[in-house]
Amino acid sequence: MGSSTGRVIAIGDVHGCIHALDAVLEAMRPTASDELVFLGDMIDNGRESKDVLERILKLRQQCRVVLIEGNHEEMMLRARESEADFNYWMHCGGAAMLSSYNFPGKLKDVPESHWELIESCLPYYETDEYIFTHANYLPELPMSEQPPHELRWTLFDPPEQEPHASGKPITVGHTEQRDGEVVDLGFATCIDTACWRYGWLTALDRTSGEIWQASKWGVLREPGEETHREKLGELIGTRAV
């Protein structure tokens, strides 16, 4: 349904970066009338997946929270099915996730409340005005008919993107924008800005267009500020000279 009076805020791929999440939450100060839409990949790669899931559980007591399933949540759920699936997940960031519970970490270390949280994720979220999904979409198909692989795995390719048949703007994550900049095509917006690497976690208020960004160390980005990758590149370049 969406929030009728509050803000509708999309949050990009957190990837286990609790300090970034806390920083953007502190900046946006969500209220009971707001709706927070996590675009998936809340877990893996970063070091604090456990803390991220705990924070989301607490957020549910403060405002409406919608969780979308990303490819990393999919891999986590599949890891329970076979050794091959488990090993694949470990290779793709799952090892960092389990280590946030207990090094080196096992599936049994994940509490039931966290499994239930991951299992509650939606394939997409559609309101009267907006559509949210993790990765991408086929423009001609209703969201209810979208292939799961498209929603969770297909990369966002700006030159090839087309408006959705519904006419609603779509917000996605998944495809890392390592320059730290949001890609806004008008009809589609990608807000995965590579937080767990050297970029930022991005939160976007769909109702106003306001953006908050924070590094994995919990530092808010100032307008026009470079990514940490760019700063590192400048430092290396200076030393090379």
What are the residue ranges in the chain where pLDDT is below 50? 234-241
- How many domains in the chain? 1
Q: Is residue 30 part of a domain?
A: yes
In a domain, 62, yes or no: yes
The domain that holds 132 is classified in CATH as 3.60.21.10
Q: What was the pLDDT predicted at 129?
A: 98
Q: Model confidence over 114-162: pLDDT tens digits?
A: 999 999 999 999 999 999 999 999 999 999 999 999 999 999 999 999 9
Residue 1 forms part of a structural domain: no
Cβ atoms of 11 and 24 closer than 8 Å: yes
* 173 domain residue, yes or no: yes
Give me the domain span that covers residue 125.
8-240
Specify the 3-state DSSP secondary structure of 83. helix
In a domain, 3, yes or no: no
Which amino acid is it at 154? T
Q: Is there a domain that residue 102 lies in?
A: yes
pLDDT of residue 233: 52
The pLDDT score that the predictor gives to residue 199 is 95
Say what the pLDDT of residue 104 is.
Answer: 81
- The answer to whether residue 2 sits within a structural domain is no
Are the beta carbons of 76 and 89 closer than 8 angstroms? yes
The pTM of the full predicted model, rounded to 2 decimals, is 0.92
Rounded CA separation 76/93 (Å): 10
Question: What is residue 229's predicted lDDT score, i.e. its pLDDT?
Answer: 62
Helix, strand, coil content of the chain in percent (nearest 5): 35, 15, 50
Distance, CA of 159 to CA of 107 (rounded, Å) = 40
pLDDT of residue 228: 64
Residue 58 domain-assigned (yes or no): yes
Residue of 28, 3, 15, 8 whose CA lies nearest to 212? 28
